[in-house]
Copies of this chain bind each other. A is one copy, B any other.
Amino acid sequence: MSAKPSGTRLDPWYGAYAARTLGMKASETRALFAVANRPEVVSLAGGMPFLEALPMEIVAKVTADLIATDGTTALQYGNGQGHPKLREAIVEVMAEEHMRPHPDDIVITTGSQQALDLVTRIFCDPGDVVLAEGPSYVGALGVFRAYEADVVHVPMDEHGLVPEALREALAMCAKQGRTIKFLYLIPNFHNPAGVRLPMARREEILAICQSAGVLVVEDNAYGLLAFDGSIIPALHSLDSEGVLYLGTFSKLLAPGYRMGWASAPHAVRERLVLASESAILCPSHYSQLSIAAYLESVDWRGQIADYRDAYRVRCETMNEALSEFLPECSWNIPEGGFYIWTKTPPGIDTKSMLPRATTALVAYVSGTGFYADGQGADHMRLSFCFPTPERIREGIRRLSGVVRRELELVEMFGHPDQLPDDLPADIDVPAPDLA
């Protein structure tokens, strides 16, 4: 037995952990989020939706009615796959992006994060390869690492994943004899890159994956959040057998419910349900039926349109502020979603600059968080989803001062890595999301 406690070690159970545990580490952004949540800091770091756009009085009433009339169901255990009523409503939500799953294809999960965990759990042995855009969602990279899978990044351009680069990655893995389990893809208003994959690329990427026998995991949190309301059909709508789809209510409604879902080919779906029963028994009836009641009672399409309007204004504000205060950076202008992926001038390391930015009361996420291989120090993810337009403008103004000083220091002393690193840590402050 290796678990013998010893008073001389800080952690008496250190010797008892599983191999997978030793690779776990706190996201480099976690301490940051604690700081970024302080009211005096303008946080351009989180992916928190702008919940003030929700009709809270109506949500409160819908929920109270649910509990008063159907509380013994809403507060009881459910089944592992999820309540049929919410699965039927999800089918309607997915139809907005041209998908036509059956409610039986849907597995409801504790946010789409759990769906991603389950997908990785059922597919990935240690050492397997997951292909992912470079950059990719920080939370997904954490899941792949937790299951000891290796991420091979596939480069993107301003239109998203580059098909030719995907062919090259597949060829390289084949040459090395590596087992690819799936391609993880964020087609709409990519986190962090902000871009949307055009229809022709969707078709080309699907054809490549079909011919290579590689499953596509399509993670689509932002597809209904194009500023102009435009839709490009989901990859899942083109190939429901070859594409495992992940959806979420976190950005369409609210993340506090922790409600997401997977839509999967039949045999895969059955394994996802088994894995989920082992992980959590069943998703929350309370959240499921609260959302089902909301979708039934409220004009949710209108509500999503309100969100889109709020984010469009914020994105325009951030774009204008960047043009005014940080013309030495370069960035894409997103057509939807939450993020502007901003390239900094040569010499800046966004990871080492971050403590100095928080000292100047502005926060962002360093681009390094979005790569499994240490790339990204020349980028930062700027979120426009949560702060007011006035705060966004003020945040970019503060950030410009930080970048300006950083450039002066680089000019005087060389690289800023040698400067003191004094990110204040305050783990008592509740941290906002890592999404």
Interface residues, chain A, with chain B CB atoms under 8 Å away = 1-5, 10-14, 16-21, 24-27, 33, 46-49, 51-52, 54, 56-57, 59-61, 63-68, 71-80, 83-84, 110-111, 113-114, 117, 121-125, 128, 139, 142-143, 145-147, 173-174, 179-182, 210, 212-215, 241-242, 250, 254-258, 265-268, 271, 274-275, 277-287, 290, 428, 430-435
Residues of B within 8 A of A266 (CB): 11
Are A121 and B281 in contact (CB-based, < 8 A)? no
Residue pairs across A and B with Cβ atoms less than 8 A apart, 11 shown, are: A3-B213, A18-B147, A21-B121, A24-B122, A51-B75, A56-B72, A63-B63, A64-B64, A79-B432, A80-B431, A114-B280
Pick the contact of A71 from B10, B51, B268 — CB < 8 Å?
Answer: B51
Most chain B CB within 10 A, of A16, A46, A48, A142, is at A16
- How many angstroms from the CA of A266 to the CA of B14 in the assembled complex? 12
* Chain B: minimal CB distance from A1 (Å): 5
What's the minimum C-beta distance from A305 to chain B, rounded to whole angstroms? 19
Q: Decide: A430 and B56 in contact? CB cutoff 8 A.
A: no
Partner of A258, one of B13, B181, B286: B286
Asked whether A12 lies within 8 Å of B265 as measured between CB atoms, the reply is yes
- Assuming the contacts A114-B279, A281-B434, asked whether A51 and B24 have C-beta atoms less than 8 A apart, the reply is no
B111 touches A280 (CB 8 A): yes
Q: Which residues of B contact A182 (CB under 8 A)?
A: 3, 16
Q: Determine the distance from Cα of A432 to Cα of B212 in the docked complex, in whole angstroms.
A: 41
Chain B residue numbers with a CB within 8 Å of A258 are 110, 280-284, 286-287
A250 to B280, CA, bound (A): 12
B48, B122, B180, B241: the one within 8 Å of A12 (CB): B241
Contacts known (A17-B271, A214-B1); A282 close to B433, Cβ less than 8 A: yes
Q: Which of A5, A27, A278 has the most CB of B within 10 A?
A: A278
Partner among B4, B77, B117 whose Cβ is within 8 Å of the Cβ of A256: B77
> How far, in Å, is A118 (CB) from chain B's closest CB?
9
Q: Identify the 5 closest CB pairs spanning chains A and B, nearest first.
A: A77-B433, A4-B213, A11-B267, A75-B254, A64-B64
User: Is the Cβ of A51 less than 8 Å from the Cβ of B64?
Assistant: no
Name the residue on B nearest A211 (C-beta).
Answer: B4
Task: Give which listed residue, B46, B54, B142, B256, contacts A284 with CB less than 8 A.
Answer: B256
Would you give the shortest CB distance from A310 to chain B, in whole angstroms? 13
Query: Are A79 and B265 in contact, CB atoms less than 8 angstroms apart?
Result: no
User: In the complex, are the beta carbons of A213 and B5 less than 8 A apart?
Assistant: yes
Distance A2 CA – B17 CA, assembled complex (angstroms): 30
Distance in angstroms from A146 CB to nearest chain B CB is 4
Structural contact, A278 and B56, CB atoms closer than 8 A: no
